[in-house]
Structure 1
Amino acid sequence: MSHTNEDLLRAPTYEVGPYHPFYVTMRDGTRLMTHVWLPDGDGPWPTILMRTPYVDSGEVYDPGFVIFARYGYAVILQECRGRGQSEGVWEPFVNERSDGLDTLDWLIQQPWQDGNIGLYGGSYLSFSQWMLADGLPPQVKTLYLSAMGTDQYRFAYMNGMFKPDIYTAWAVTNSDVDWGDRDVTGIALDAYRFSPPMEMDQSLLGRKVPWYRDFISSSGSGAALWNEGLWALLKSMPAKVNVPVCMVAGWFDIALETMFASFGELKPEIRAKSRLIVGPWVHSFVTYGDLDYPGGTTDGTNGGTKVVLAWFDANLKGQPHAPEKLGTVETYVIGDNEWRTWEQWPPASESLTFYLNENFSLGMRPSDQPVSYSYTYDPKNPVTTAGGGTILSVYGDSPYLPKAASVKQPEPNDRPDVLSFQSELLTRDMLIAGQIKVGLHVSSTAEDTAFTVKISEVFANGETFNIADGITSLAYRNGASSPQSYEPGRIESIRMELWPITWQLRSGSRLRLDVSSSNFPAYHVHPNVAGNWAEQAEVKRANQTLYGGGGCVSLVEIPLSTVVTT
């Protein structure tokens, strides 16, 4: 992801000089269009390489990327195989490793690079760089990667529940189908609703999309798809990186969880030279939703071109870099509206536990008496997503899709299939730092179904904003890697670990927990039928019951920071 705000940068020292288009030949003879911008002057130059599939419009001059030539860098932008002017067939994911390594072999032979190369990119562009991480030549000194981690299962699923607004949308928009003047977000919503999901590609796109069918056929983390070949290799990459990595994520970005995991898997000696920056951003690295985030834009000191330039200056030119930033996780604290630096993640914390009790309350101790709450879940009438981090395809207002990020929530119990529990007034400010955990006792009349949770802050004025959410199917409950059986009517204990967050709860607010069974289109609509969800054409209603108190305690654990931060 690149951003421009020259007012925040030091004055450039060069003009953009010669532009050179090259066709770089891959090992199989396919030629990839490679655009090179050099500073005006005598080289050789430290070099920044980015590879992208997003060139359908034919426009490749990105001012936010080419600007680095004005600071003394050779800037390389390559169009992925089968995209733009590059030869070959576009097959998402398949060729990025071999093509990227071949491109590096070509690059290190060019007389205008000085032996100091940085790899750069966000989202798919970051994936294409991660795939090279174990085979980097010594000329590659660093990586600057955003909006993509390395655990593809966790990127596509949570506990057996698929994220259609990530990968169904991406399959539609990157299918090479000419949609003309039609609104692609509307087409994507049709794709999310298609039944059975396995036949969506053939029906709407006119052909089978093998990679997409593989994804929706592999609901568990133990499936062969995620543990062999390309995706197993990708997952192994953080532990194989031998150069510093700057990683940039957003609290409401689809890759948030996997980026935290990837940063934590770096070798300790490499992590000590690396950084993870997390701001209040969605996947496009802008702030969004219904809250304000003062000081949270990427054009500030924590993201955007200024940070990218400082990182490459330090690692490719040997210029000083703030040592106190290295080895840390730097986060924007929502509600406190400040940036804090954590020397370790997750930080030291103490748990504040709330229990689901009578009268839809969240109490500080569990009720001695058992309580239960029931609702009917109808897959034909799913709960619409209201904010969160798994919305990719739209960030502005849309007639088809909901908003991402933290948004104003509906009134409690606004639907008969949503159960809302609230705490008493909080008596002090409290800093959430880590991953909220929710444990529920549930039962269902279905052989398989789903349960969702959402944690929100209810401000003193009654307005409610989502903090974090989660979902699980019963088949993949409690992190199961393969499907588990369930006997209808049996009470099961399920546990969900929500995505990381730093969020300041305010004195006078309340905490709210919403429990339901759908969150669409952030996650697929569970049909209440056992077996692979994508093959089901029929759906059933299910009666769901949630238990608390007595011997079936249901609870929310909030990690409160005990660390004095900077």
Structure 2
Amino acid sequence: MGKNNRMVKVLAEMKQDYARLETAPTHTVCQPETIMLPMPDGCRLCTVIHRPIGPGPFPTILMRSCYPDQGAILRLHGEEYSRRGFAFVYQICRGTGRSEGEWQPNVNERADGKACVDWLAEQNWTGSIGFWGNSYLALTGWVIADILPDKVKTLYLTHYGTDRFISAYQCGLFRQDVLTSWAMSNAGFPVSADYQASLRYRPQVEVDEDLWGGRLSWYRDWITNTNRQDIYWNEGFWQLLKEIPAKIKVPIYIGEGWYDHHLGSALEGWKALAEESKKHSVLRIGAWNHFFQPCTAGAPTNHLDNSDIRQAFTWFERILCQDQKPEGCVLTYQINADRWLKQDSYPFNETKTTLFYLDASRIRANAATLGLESAEQTAVATYTFDPENPVPSHGAEAMLATTQAIGSLPQPACGYRDDVLSFVSDPLARPLSILGKIRVVLHVASTADDTAFAIKLMEIKKDGTAYNIRTGITTLAYRQSGNQNRQHYEPGTIVEAIIDCWDISWQLPAGSRLRLDITSSDFPQYAIHSNFAGIWSRQAKTQTARQSLYTGGDTPSRLILPVN
């Protein structure tokens, strides 16, 4: 589908969502007004005002966007809100669209956002103000959430978080389909280079100048700071962003999807939220991707309720118009059960677990065994990992550009590749509800001095079709935790590697089986490991590695499920 056709479809769906609102459009509106709003340094930013006819004051919604090509979407929001008695203001970020200045992601949004919201609060036609944003637009809200004028009563922020390191890395491997693609689309100049060639380019730290046509210092910062403790993530803008949730005083709606690439970061933001705010805030997680699209192919979604337009309008109407504060809560959508559950809190209670042990000695139908007891004898399974032939991502939670690979999707049969090991359980005797972070503990060895191990957990339904539940990855350099500094590995040594997945809520019915795949790549969800030690983006060449997975005996490789 072409870009114009996609936009037509998006606008049509938005109009349908607005038409379903209980609040009908009853107001006559003014012609939209565009002003060039001066920032404190004199730079002027394009700011568009939609409001009903009349003096006000009106409940007011503010958005700030770095995507001027989405102007039609912003205008439609403005038209629909103003027809329902709201003022709606959106501003185009510095250096994008008609706004003046130089585009540099993130770093100007606090000062510019503060100037914008302070100006808005001073207007005599504004009443109570709410900030609304999704993705980068949510970032522009997060970054001013602790310095709001009194007129701002709430924020509604979806699909973004406050811990950028989590959004960028999993145990030393970069989330390439998210951030490399975003860098190419938001470089500040046209990038026409082939996407796959850009992802695979080595050393990746030089891809900007060699293939894209200009140096992007901020992208180089992202791809070279692989340690959680690196100064880059712990000072300046990113440290400031991490500190903001604890200072927020107003109610905030944090919306996420189980298959949105910002989920991990957003959950950290919720955990850090000040109690004053949290007692009237809502965390809501559904089974959709970054674009609010249902993406669980093997599960019913009749009660998914993924209209963010309806959720946002209801939230703003309640707080800005009715002056009511919501009751704080955590709402999670349970996949397969097709229902919403209200949780007491987050993090979820993960004290109850069910363990499944890998057994490489028992093979049937191209798969080894996943059982409830660990085998007495040690067994080993091996495969060769060639970085020039990575396992393609298909069914993933942290992707953006390769949209067809996002979500829970039908999976290939066991044995589909020589470099993928599959372990399958017996049919479940009773239903099993997963809620929280899945963990896989592997005992592994490699001929390389650093390499990767990736997992994919699936449900095999009674008809034999497998659907992914969660994926995860680690490297030997970060084998115990992605929060540690890089570790040394001696080739051939058997070590324990821990792979933690993002949270999930999934109902497994009796009769389903579990399948766990082990391999060493998941591309382009994650950058391909070169099989050399060191920072991934500085590696200029690759080598093959012989990988060994040990099970049973003194090496009880296992799957740990949080259940409720």
TM-score, scaled relative to structure 1: 0.93
The CA distance in 2 between the partners of 1:52 and 1:393, in whole Å, is 19
Tell me whether 1:404 sits opposite 2:406 in the alignment. yes
Amino acid at match of 1:353: L
1:309 is paired with a residue of what secondary structure?
Answer: helix
Encode CA deviations 1:323-352: one digit per residue, 9 max, x unaligned. Answer: 5xx322112111011111112224435211
| Residues 130-209 of structure 1 aligned to structure 2 (within 5 Å) | 130-178=142-190, 187-209=194-216
The one of 513, 517, 532 equivalent to 1:514 is: 517
The CA distance in 1 between the partners of 2:297 and 2:348, in whole Å, is 28
| Residues 363-512 of structure 1 aligned to structure 2 (within 5 Å) | 363-396=371-404, 403-479=405-481, 480-512=483-515
The one of 24, 38, 50 equivalent to 2:51 is: 38
| Residues 321-336 of structure 1 aligned to structure 2 (within 5 Å) | 326-336=327-337
Q: What is the aligned partner in structure 1 of residue 285 from structure 2?
A: 278
CA contact (8 A) 1:56 1:83 kept: no
CA contact (8 A) 2:294 2:301 kept: no
The one of 286, 295, 314 equivalent to 2:302 is: 295
CA contact (8 A) 1:456 1:465 kept: yes
The one of 109, 122, 126 equivalent to 1:113 is: 126
Tell me whether 1:128 sits opposite 2:140 in the alignment. yes
2:110 is paired with a residue of what secondary structure?
Answer: helix
Tell me whether 1:314 sits opposite 2:318 in the alignment. yes
CA 1:134–1:6 in 2, change beyond 3 Å: closer, same or farther? closer
Deviation at 1:473, TM superposition (A): 1.1
Amino acid at match of 2:60: T
Q: For structure 1, which segment, 284-293 or 204-213, has the greater mean C-alpha deviation from structure 2 after superposition? A: 284-293
Q: What is the aligned partner in structure 1 of residue 38 from structure 2?
A: 25
Q: What is the aligned partner in structure 1 of residue 365 from structure 2?
A: none
| Residues 81-96 of structure 1 aligned to structure 2 (within 5 Å) | 81-96=94-109
CA contact (8 A) 2:18 2:80 kept: no
The CA distance in 2 between the partners of 1:145 and 1:522, in whole Å, is 24
The CA distance in 2 between the partners of 1:555 and 1:493, in whole Å, is 11
Amino acid at match of 2:346: W
Q: What is the aligned partner in structure 2 of residue 348 from structure 1?
A: 349
Deviation at 1:57, TM superposition (A): 6.8
CA 1:66–1:547 in 2, change beyond 3 Å: closer, same or farther? farther
Q: What is the aligned partner in structure 2 of residue 246 from structure 1?
A: 253
1:497 is paired with a residue of what secondary structure?
Answer: strand
Q: What is the aligned partner in structure 1 of residue 84 from structure 2?
A: 71
Amino acid at match of 1:129: G
Encode CA deviations 1:76-123: one digit per residue, 9 max, x unaligned. Answer: 110000111101111111211110011122112212112x11111010
The CA distance in 1 between the partners of 2:42 and 2:300, in whole Å, is 49
CA contact (8 A) 1:287 1:296 kept: no
Deviation at 1:136, TM superposition (A): 1.3
CA contact (8 A) 1:220 1:476 kept: no
The CA distance in 1 between the partners of 2:470 and 2:416, in whole Å, is 19
Tell me whether 1:48 sits opposite 2:66 in the alignment. no
- Point out where structure 1 has 5 or more consecutive residues left out of the alignment: 397-402, 562-566
Deviation at 1:19, TM superposition (A): 1.5
CA 1:61–1:509 in 2, change beyond 3 Å: closer, same or farther? closer
1:108 is paired with a residue of what secondary structure?
Answer: helix
Encode CA deviations 1:230-270: one digit per residue, 9 max, x unaligned. Answer: 00111111111111100111111101111122112112232
2:122 is paired with a residue of what secondary structure?
Answer: coil
Identity %: 40
Deviation at 1:72, TM superposition (A): 1.7
CA contact (8 A) 1:388 1:468 kept: yes
**Alignment RMSD (CA, Å):** 1.8
Encode CA deviations 1:189-211: one digit per residue, 9 max, x unaligned. Answer: 22101111111110121111000
CA contact (8 A) 2:431 2:509 kept: yes
2:56 is paired with a residue of what secondary structure?
Answer: coil
CA contact (8 A) 1:288 1:395 kept: no
Encode CA deviations 1:298-344: one digit per residue, 9 max, x unaligned. Answer: xx3x64222111211222123556x5xx3221121110111111122
Amino acid at match of 2:340: W
Deviation at 1:489, TM superposition (A): 0.8
CA contact (8 A) 1:147 1:248 kept: yes
Deviation at 1:7, TM superposition (A): 3.9
Q: What is the aligned partner in structure 1 of residue 231 from structure 2?
A: 224
Q: What is the aligned partner in structure 1 of residue 3 from structure 2?
A: none
Encode CA deviations 1:112-148: one digit per residue, 9 max, x unaligned. Answer: 112x111110100011111112211212111000000
Deviation at 1:41, TM superposition (A): 3.2
1:257 is paired with a residue of what secondary structure?
Answer: helix
1:201 is paired with a residue of what secondary structure?
Answer: helix
CA 1:471–1:415 in 2, change beyond 3 Å: closer, same or farther? same
Q: For structure 1, which segment, 92-101 or 40-49, has the greater mean C-alpha deviation from structure 2 after superposition? A: 40-49
CA 1:52–1:514 in 2, change beyond 3 Å: closer, same or farther? same
Q: What is the aligned partner in structure 1 of residue 5 from structure 2?
A: none
1:485 is paired with a residue of what secondary structure?
Answer: coil
Deviation at 1:551, TM superposition (A): 0.8
The CA distance in 1 between the partners of 2:536 and 2:283, in whole Å, is 35
Q: What is the aligned partner in structure 1 of residue 339 from structure 2?
A: 338
Encode CA deviations 1:359-396: one digit per residue, 9 max, x unaligned. Answer: 21111011111111111111010000011111101435
The CA distance in 2 between the partners of 1:89 and 1:346, in whole Å, is 40
The CA distance in 2 between the partners of 1:352 and 1:288, in whole Å, is 27
CA contact (8 A) 1:197 1:535 kept: yes
1:68 is paired with a residue of what secondary structure?
Answer: helix
1:127 is paired with a residue of what secondary structure?
Answer: helix
CA 1:501–1:289 in 2, change beyond 3 Å: closer, same or farther? closer
CA contact (8 A) 1:279 1:296 kept: no
The CA distance in 2 between the partners of 1:304 and 1:134, in whole Å, is 24
Q: What is the aligned partner in structure 2 of residue 234 from structure 1?
A: 241
CA contact (8 A) 2:253 2:283 kept: yes
Q: For structure 1, which segment, 473-482 or 496-505, has the greater mean C-alpha deviation from structure 2 after superposition? A: 473-482
Q: What is the aligned partner in structure 2 of residue 399 from structure 1?
A: none
Q: For structure 1, which segment, 274-283 or 287-296, has the greater mean C-alpha deviation from structure 2 after superposition? A: 287-296
1:513 is paired with a residue of what secondary structure?
Answer: strand
CA contact (8 A) 2:415 2:421 kept: yes
The CA distance in 2 between the partners of 1:532 and 1:372, in whole Å, is 29
TM-score, scaled relative to structure 2: 0.93
How many residues end up aligned between the 2 structures?
543
CA contact (8 A) 2:50 2:78 kept: no
